[in-house]
Structure 1
Amino acid sequence: MELGEAVSTCLSKYATISGRARRSEFWWWVLATWLVGLGVGLLEAVLGIGSPDGGGPLSGLYALAILLPNICVAGRRLHDTDRSAWWLLIVLVPVIGFLVLIYFYIQRGTTGENRFGPDPLAAAAAPQ
């Protein structure tokens, strides 16, 4: 999976938490949203509308716009490792929760079908 395909998949599943997301889909999405966020921050700096601590109105709107797809792709990534999306709440545990989620995100997904659906890696490898 490449950047454009991952972004279009995540945006087409804007509010869909069911199913599974492969590692490449998740990490390409993270990279794309980070790069766009960086661009929005630079635009605010050029326009002089950002605050000194780095926030601004465009950054706030952008963060709000990608909040739901971020949650959904993270939930689908956890589904790929055969974990419930409720594990996202572990981020509420300071430091350790974030590290646990990173560990879950980098793990290989379960091979074959699991309780959340078919293997997205096998589906991508199958001839069309």
Structure 2
Amino acid sequence: MQWYLKVLKQYADFNGRARRTEFWMFVLFNILAAIVLSIIDVLIGTASFSSTGTGFAMSGGLLTTIYQLAVLIPSLAVGARRLHDTGRSGWWQLLALIPIVGAIILIVWWATDGQPGANEHGMNPKQDAMAGYPQGGYPQQGYQQGGYPQQGYDQGGYPQQGYQQGGYPQQGGYQQGGYPQQQQQYPPQQQYPGAPQA
């Protein structure tokens, strides 16, 4: 569901790249929504049936048509971003105007894995996801900005227990600078003649 909402938030954003998961989850939710709305159209009588030679065909009902118009722009936008992920221009979606062949070519391209690393359309969204950015949809809990676990580690990545600010053990006779605390030795008192002995 988060992928579907992400596409709707980027309603008319034709820039950047989109992962295969983002694109195909949006397509799946669109199909499910169209099926549900078609059933509702039949129940309320806004869908029309026509007889064919081998059966019946149902034309799009009122609710289904409204929904398809509402998601037309985000569908084109996520399709363009998916093509950007493969290193192609979003204008290749015009191949859909070619019957059958154009749709097959687009489906193959939309199902192709994206280019590794950055291309002219931006960073690889999979790398953003592994780095902990929300675009990939992965949880950020339990990790700092640098990617280290928060429990038991300070900002530099060293354990907090048993270490001072400089990273040296507190136990074992070490001071703040990390050098041993040697006891200062004084020379023995010299005995002077005539001085009382303790």
TM-score range, shorter chain: over 0.9
Return the offset for 1:54. Answer: 2.9
Any gaps of 5 or more consecutive residues in structure 1? Answer: none
Detail structure 1 runs of 4+ shifted over 4 Å in the superposition: none
1:113 to 93, 118, 122: 118
Structure with the bigger percentage of helix: 1
Alignment correspondent of 1:41: 38
Greater relative contact order, per chain length (Cα 8 Å cut-off, separation 6+): 1
1:79 is aligned to 2:84: yes
Alignment correspondent of 1:67: 72
* Equivalent position amino acid for 1:55 in 2: G
Alignment correspondent of 2:8: 11
2:29 to 21, 27, 32: 32
| Aligned residues with identical type, % of pairs | 39
* Equivalent position amino acid for 2:85 in 1: D
Q: CA RMSD in A?
A: 0.9
Q: Could you state the TM-score of these two structures normalised by the residue count of structure 2? A: 0.62
Any gaps of 5 or more consecutive residues in structure 2? Answer: 50-57, 133-139, 141-198
Superposed, which structure 2 residues align to 1:45-56 within 5 Å? Answer: 45-52=42-49, 53-56=58-61
Return the offset for 1:60. Answer: 1.1
Q: Describe the SS at the equivalent of 1:64.
A: helix
